Amino acid sequence: MYLIKFSFAQKEDTITYRGIFMNLQDYKSNKLSYVINCDSALGKIRLNHFFSQNYIDVFKDGKKIKLYKDSIFGYRDCKQSDYRFFQDRDREYQIKENKNIVIYITDVPVTSSSGKTVQLVQGYFFSTTPSSEILPLTIINLKKVFSGNLKFHDLLNVEFYGAKDISDYDDKHKMYKINYLLNQSLTEPNSK
């Protein structure tokens, strides 16, 4: 006679929330305002992309609250992704990595020769802090921002020589390649 033992792992139910980061300090301390349970249909956040509206609407507890994008830092969605608002009212920047260089993604319109938007593609951006200016992620912009770090310039030249994608993620080091290169340039003695 054989005894077979079955073991079933139970998945713990977790509740996810979305909400607003009122300011940079709230983002840094992971403090959400206007918190809405993602499993509930009773609340939502409307980003108001159409007609370039400069505010978002938060629907919570039967009330509609209007928050101006230039007076809040950003928000968290139900996928637990964090976003930051910056200047452009039609765009929010998803924070992909917050290290020495903050990496963002957002949809960028691609236009035809007639000026009409043909499609949206994912574009990469960066800033040096979560509150500083957001710039397109290019080698030229990185070299401008880190103009005094010649070791970083050299590492960028070697790593991204010939059309390599500057937005590559480094699975081995669990960070974006540019953050790894910047860390290397700050920790290794500068040979120049």
User: Does residue 37 contact residue 59 with C-beta atoms inside 8 Å?
Assistant: no
* pTM exceeds 0.95: no
What is the pLDDT at residue 48?
A: 86
Task: Report the residue count for the chain.
Answer: 192
Host H or E run for residue 24: helix 24-28
User: Average pLDDT for residues 34-42, to the nearest whole number?
Assistant: 90
Q: What confidence tens digit (pLDDT) does each residue in 73-90 have?
A: 999 999 999 999 998 667
Host H or E run for residue 48: none
Specify the long-range contacts of residues 31-34, CB closer than 8 Å, at least 24 apart.
32/76, 34/58, 34/60, 34/65
User: Does residue 84 contact residue 73 with C-beta atoms inside 8 Å?
Assistant: yes
Torsion angle (degrees, nearest 10) of CA 77, 169, 138, 120: -50
Q: Where are the domains of the chain?
A: 14-90
Q: What confidence tens digit (pLDDT) does each residue in 124-147 have?
A: 999 999 999 999 999 999 999 999
Torsion angle (degrees, nearest 10) of CA 164, 154, 124, 90: -140
What is the pLDDT at residue 89?
A: 67
Q: What ranges in 29-174 are assigned the alpha helix state H?
A: 139-145, 150-159
Q: Within 13 Å and on the Cβ side, how many CA atoms surround 158?
A: 8
Host H or E run for residue 181: helix 177-187
Q: What confidence tens digit (pLDDT) does each residue in 141-170 have?
A: 999 999 999 999 999 999 998 767 899 999
Rounded CA separation 141/135 (Å): 7
CA distances from 44 to 6, 33, 124 (A): 42, 13, 27
Is residue 8's pLDDT more than 80? no
What is the pLDDT at residue 7?
A: 44
The mean-pLDDT minimum among 1-5, 31-35, 44-48 falls in: 1-5
Return phi, psi of residue 154, to 5°.
Answer: -65, -45
What is the pLDDT at residue 6?
A: 44
